[in-house]
């Protein structure tokens, strides 16, 4: 490859790596105003130790696959924000940890199953489960992770009842979230035409948005403060959308740990960068792009011109969208009763860093072209 494409890809590589009380609930009239006391490193270490303690025993038929999958556990963002929300609400740490484990197991189940659907052979720079152990083992591991997710949600509900005498329904919330997630994922494979922005947003609301929102929503439910969560629905809708856009950018840049750069383009899967870029084209340019795209020839190896334009122009448009969504999140959290900005830092910091990196690459590349 020549020109600006290698520079764009190199500049994006950094995104791959960046990213107990006996009283379970604080008086809702006195919400926590302090930042969470545990730092990110401590939280991730505690969470990962708890996850690994729940993995199948060495003689279990899924042991090797589970160990392989969690050898690179990712950023654990969902578990982090769940625990931070629990701490903000003064929820008993045991309850909070059970819910954090629940959402992390469900998220990882979705990854295992997504890799099968997308036929991805690499995740986090390692072979995917289906590639390393076969489709049967991958399906079974994904199902096992779903079961673990519901087991820990049920334990969270049980602990909450034992502490407060109040019945909570976090398990039902998890089921609702999984249903929406499955529907969003399935929507990618039934559409006869490439989605517009409105359709894309609906897909993301289920596929990605649920696993960004339920870590926090579940904590409010377990703290018997679910009514206080309602104002946050727009916040998590925007965060879920911004998160998926970032994933889409990384997919095109080849920095998402997958084996193929631009797998979404090759599969013609919904991708925010493609949609935003296509919407910016006019007249003959859009027609030419559509013809190339539908032929599957818009990729780094067969049509560097369009791939470069897609990365530079489409990438900047996507970064603009992320920045706009984060501004909406910040606005919606202003004067909110609880200090949610601290809880959401693992997500917002990651998204902000991603968008700023893309802006930097676009500006320097444009100058050098």
Over the stretch 280-311, which tens digit does the pLDDT of each residue have? 988 888 888 877 776 665 554 456 777 778 88
What pLDDT, on a 0 to 100 scale, did the predictor assign at position 2? 41
CB contact at 8 A, 153 and 102: yes
pLDDT of residue 366: 57
**Rounded to an integer, what distance in angstroms lies between the CA atom of residue 325 and that of residue 306?**
27
Look up the domain containing 274 and give its range.
5-368
Determine the pLDDT at residue 196.
86
Share of the chain above pLDDT 90, in %: 51
pLDDT digits (tens, 9 = 90+) for 213-245: 999 999 999 999 998 998 899 999 999 999 999
> With a cut of 70, which residues of the chain have pLDDT below it?
1-38, 192, 256-260, 262, 294-303, 362-369
Residue whose structure tokens are 């994933």: 247
* C-alpha to C-alpha distance for 262 and 248, rounded to whole angstroms: 9
Number of domains composing the chain: 1
pLDDT value at residue 313: 87
Q: Name, in order, each residue with C-beta under 8 angstroms of 328's C-beta and a sequence gap of 6 or more.
A: 234, 238
The CATH number of whichever domain residue 127 belongs to comes to: 1.10.600.10
For a pLDDT cut of 70, what percent of the chain falls above it?
82
Residue 321's nearest CA partner among 280, 269, 292, 265 is 280
Q: Which of 300, 309, 318, 315 is nearest to 369 (CA)?
A: 309
CB 252 within 8 A of CB 262: yes
What does the alpha-carbon distance between residue 360 and residue 368 come to, in Å, rounded to a whole number?
Answer: 12
Alpha helices for 134-169 (secondary structure H): 135-164
* pLDDT value, residue 15: 41
Cβ density class 8-25: b for 16+ within 10 Å, e for less: bbebbeebeeebeeeebb
H/E element holding 93?
helix 93-118
């Amino acid at each position: 490859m020549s020109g600006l494409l290698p520079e764009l890809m190199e500049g994006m590589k950094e995104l791959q790596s960046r990213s107990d009380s006996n009283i379970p609930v604080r008086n809702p009239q006195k919400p926590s105003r302090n930042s969470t006391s545990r730092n990110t490193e401590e939280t991730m270490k505690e969470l990962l130790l708890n996850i690994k303690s729940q993995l199948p025993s060495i003689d279990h038929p899924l042991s090797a696959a589970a160990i392989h999958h969690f050898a690179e556990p990712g950023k654990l963002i969902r578990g982090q924000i769940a625990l931070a929300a629990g701490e903000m609400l003064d929820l008993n740490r045991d309850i909070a940890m059970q819910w954090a484990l629940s959402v992390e197991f469900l998220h990882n189940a979705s990854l295992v199953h997504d890799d099968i659907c997308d036929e991805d052979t690499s995740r986090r720079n390692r072979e995917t489960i289906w590639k390393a152990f076969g489709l049967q083992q991958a399906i079974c591991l994904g199902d096992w992770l779903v079961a673990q997710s519901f087991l820990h949600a049920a334990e969270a509900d049980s602990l909450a009842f034992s502490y407060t005498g109040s019945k909570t329904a976090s398990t039902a919330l998890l089921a609702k979230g999984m249903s929406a997630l499955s529907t969003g994922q399935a929507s990618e494979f039934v559409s006869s035409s490439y989605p517009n922005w409105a359709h894309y947003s609906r897909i993301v609301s289920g596929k990605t948005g649920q696993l960004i929102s339920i870590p926090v929503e579940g904590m409010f439910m377990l703290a018997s403060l679910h009514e206080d969560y309602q104002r946050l629905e727009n916040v998590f809708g925007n965060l879920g959308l911004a998160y998926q856009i970032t994933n889409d950018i990384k997919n095109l840049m080849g920095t998402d740990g997958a084996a193929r750069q631009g797998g979404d383009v090759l599969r013609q899967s919904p991708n925010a960068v493609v949609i935003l870029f296509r919407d910016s084209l006019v007249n003959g340019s859009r027609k030419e792009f559509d013809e190339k795209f539908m032929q599957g020839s818009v990729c780094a190896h067969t049509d560097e011109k369009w791939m470069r334009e897609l990365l530079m122009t489409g990438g900047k448009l996507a970064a603009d969208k992320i920045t706009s969504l984060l501004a909406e999140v910040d606005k919606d959290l202003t004067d909110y009763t609880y200090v949610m900005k601290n809880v959401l830092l693992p997500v917002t910091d990651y998204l902000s860093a991603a968008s700023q990196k893309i802006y930097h690459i676009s500006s320097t590349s444009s100058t050098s072209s």
